[in-house]
Structure 1
């Protein structure tokens, strides 16, 4: 990767803190960064990679900060952005919020972290749990200077040795988000599932866990293509996963970190039906008012329940005097967003509910010119995933237990 330096800037481009790793780029080069960003913004050609005089700037914007790296070499850009986001995550673990004020309040600690995260421009220890074992927010005393844990130099750098629990437990959660776009005729224009497998591990010693996948690649290679399987895309694993084992037999084999972590994330381009179906009828009355009739129907099994359902309906910008009537939940008008929200706390499967909304409307013609943005639906369904058959097996091998 070979980074030359890293800078934390405020929104005006003022350097809050910086670290020079290689000394091959003049630190004053950062003065050229904000003018380059402003020029690109005016041209409408803003890019996270900028160049000036043989120096490459790679940056991300996080809250009210710019995290900028400089390099004169042919750096691995993907790795650069990965380490920048990892730095944000580590700092959030330490400070809860990463913003200008937390940077100013933690100068000494940040320098310590930057020295451990990156060494001579190359990523080193990026696991916040390991870092917190020897870099604390309590200050250090010279006579009891902490020693880095052995995990820093071990092959398994994400887990410390000697961990013991009275009760050994493993918890696994599959969390999926369904992104769906349906047109007015009821046809699905776009659908995808974005998922993550999160784990909480409380095991003694150095256990090895294995997770079997009902993966389409595996079934086709073994002549079982007709079996119930899934085709995963954009799979990203935690660093603990043995990638060679996964490539060979699609088994996820790993020695897990202690505590909570994300094992993998994935995406599925697959056709799915809307779990909550929305129908709308809009009636205009004598160019002075408009009424909405929204019908919501749950299209999942009765044993499941959707929680915290929010149905967002766009209304004309000049609408006023809202009146609502719902069969369940409540509705409210948010004028600053030109929307009304119908909130249903609990929506059981196989149910159907109605909401009517009435608005005074000085100018119906204006509404027609603005168009009708799509109705959006947000909800959560516990214990429900499209990929119920994602995992075929799960077992552990105890080592040093």
Structure 2
């Protein structure tokens, strides 16, 4: 939360009513489920257990209100799925086919999508073909990786590409050296956990101004990894 409110306001934040904290117990049927969560020490939790409402007395600036963990049986639907195929195109070069599907709802989208793929150390250059505009790729020789970039991808759509990894000095490329691949992105209007803010109310007795409230849903990855295998 970022606050620029004057005085000493109290903010009531209502979260999803069907939020369940399992704490290692058997998974239920609620839409939003978490293994565990923690809150900033200043957060008032009196109404949280019964009504999923947080009491916040923010200082000016940024505050991490809540952190949570989802895993095991509560694993969420991941926002991207990658399919791939690695083949030898000649006695030494490799052909890499990639298809990245965005599993979000049509109302959401991802921007600044980048797939970083480790390539064989003998790779000298690459060629590429893309399924649609807004894509690019570069070979980073010093890092021995290739970066496939997509400016924007809509929920429910996919981007495809075909790369030729060309050997330098006519040396054989080792297909086992392709991958892993790491994905970077920014999701707008989407939270993977399904957690929603129902309301955001500001109470301030000393000031009569009408505060502006803006709720933005955004997701960025910390470590989103794909393992690539060679086609037999």
User: Does structure 1 residue 260 correspond to structure 2 residue 40?
Assistant: no
Equivalent residue for 2:36, pick from 233, 250, 269: 233
Q: Do the aligned partners of residues 360 and 234 (structure 1) sit closer, same or farther apart at CA in structure 2, a change above 3 Å counting?
A: same
CA contact (8 A) 1:241 1:254 kept: yes
* Cα separation, 2, equivalents of 1:204 and 1:287: 69
CA contact (8 A) 1:232 1:268 kept: yes
Aligned length: 194
5+ residue gaps, structure 2, are 23-27, 208-232
Equivalent residue for 1:331, pick from 137, 159, 162: 137
Q: Do the aligned partners of residues 226 and 344 (structure 1) sit closer, same or farther apart at CA in structure 2, a change above 3 Å counting?
A: closer
* Cα separation, 2, equivalents of 1:231 and 1:211: 18
5+ residue gaps, structure 1, are 1-198, 219-224
In structure 2, the residue matched to 1:314 is 118
In the TM superposition, what is the alpha-carbon distance from 1:396 to its structure 2 partner? 3.3
Post-superposition CA distance 1:301-334 (Å, at most 9, x none) = 2222210111122210011132222233111111
Q: What SS is found at the alignment partner of 2:174?
A: helix
Flag the structure with higher helix content. 1
Q: Do the aligned partners of residues 275 and 248 (structure 1) sit closer, same or farther apart at CA in structure 2, a change above 3 Å counting?
A: closer
Equivalent residue for 1:285, pick from 70, 86, 89: 89
Which gives a bigger RCO, structure 1 or 2 (Cα 8 Å, sep 6+)?
A: 2
What TM-score, normalized by structure 2, do the two folds share?
Answer: 0.70
What TM-score, normalized by structure 1, do the two folds share?
Answer: 0.43
* Cα separation, 2, equivalents of 1:227 and 1:377: 29
Flag the structure with higher strand content. 2
Q: Please say which structure displays the higher CA radius of gyration.
A: 1
In structure 2, the residue matched to 1:391 is 197
Aligned 1:213-232 pairs, distance under 5 A: 213=15, 214=17, 215-217=19-21, 226-231=29-34
CA contact (8 A) 1:229 1:390 kept: no
List 4+ stretches of structure 1 deviating above 6 A.
none
